[in-house]
Structure 1
């Protein structure tokens, strides 16, 4: 600073004619009027620089992601913080859970210290609304019982129930109760063939043929289209009344056109009634469906021989013998008939 003052004095001396300096012109500046000391200026600049560096460091150290609130519903509630200010825990984004967890409905985020009380206030209400008292839940058994109690049983169901009850008695060996149940079933439905046939079988096993005949007659009177029952009734009638047996078979014959057993049985009854020509016709019709039945061939030979057709009768006997399916007794009978038909007639 002294060097600058000296230069100013020289310029001042050169600028005036008498070499004096002007009191109103340029003058030297006293030391105490020359501004702040250098040390103070440099010290302030250094302080400002340090503050700027500190602020930059703090700014650069901020988290790169926004803070997130901790889901306090999935962790134990922390103890209340002593400070009244809200505390927000900043955590990184959570990893995906291995299994989905049912969301819990909670109010808007609030300070952590207030969350336990809020959860205690909300959770019981949610559980209460989701839970249903056990006494109010209808049980399936009670519902089905009400449906069964309110449902009316149809007549057909009553018949089937009675029939199953009778079969249960029969399975347990209670034959008398089974027969009573079958009769009650037939009273409800006279056309129930299962009950009718079971009752007839039980009557025959109990040596009650007359009762079995009555049941068969009732059944065929309601529905004659039952060839099997007609044959059963005819067998029971044959020993006592061959005419009644023939009538039974003739009534059901239209419904047994393709039944060889039925026609052969009818032929035997006709033969017993000495209607040999009709018997031969029925045997021939039966053999059309079973040409290898040796018994029916023998029956045809008997009918033809009795109807005075010896040549045709001999052919029928030979066919019966050739099949080699007759019993020894019948085979001997056929051989005797062939001897009779081949022996010369005497005059």
Structure 2
């Protein structure tokens, strides 16, 4: 199961509200009986992952889904790996995740498909504030701490290539988990490490706290994945669910502070409101002048395929995968 573990989107300390894969069958709520009013749906979300978290909490605390005919149950997971395992065990019907965990799940079990765009989330490469490095090209011959196998790994290597460096020959890549990177940067104990990469909300927290200086930033497409069997049983449920996500975005956009505070209370995270706003700054659906859209653009589709290609390159996938078959009609 190593390939699932390394695909996790969020690696925060364990939270008591989080369900873990080894006891998923015992503790995750079953679907509501079919004779209940409405369509029972179990929603897997990641309790420590910002922006996604605000949307999930809005859906959880509002009548949005029930007004659309659903009877929702929300199932919290620590990060993408256990969430995928929960999906494979039949513990959830739909889930919120990043591109690489989505690809891993859909490649493993073809009955899961991407039904729409969840959000964009940031990943970044950064250095200590005291560092003399101002550009990626200045990392030649230096050590960079990277969470191997995660989207931050992919984006960091791409940025290094674009800076004219060979990521294999010109830098020393050190495999380090995002929790370790956060602790290192917070304590200021970089030792022989010259730069590091992480994703939000850890990246936003370090950046907003002025603990690091960003030298490169990338954007990852995160998605909503649903079980085809669920859609076949309840036709149109995929589009209705995405309609609900659009309505959640409307509430989030109308009052970001309220959404942030509700997410902080639910997740019990210590991130500042400033960090949560910074994490959400890359999402166009939260900008007043932008129309809300949960569809995947042509660029999104290209980037998801690039993610699959990267996963094959670093041997997370045993064979090359075409993501076209993973994308469902409701997503476009």
TM-score, normalised to structure 2, is 0.20
Relative contact order (C-alpha < 8 Å, sep 6+): which is higher? Answer: 2
Greater C-alpha Rg: 1
TM-score, normalised to structure 1, is 0.19
Q: Which has the higher strand share?
A: 2
Q: Which has the higher helix share?
A: 1
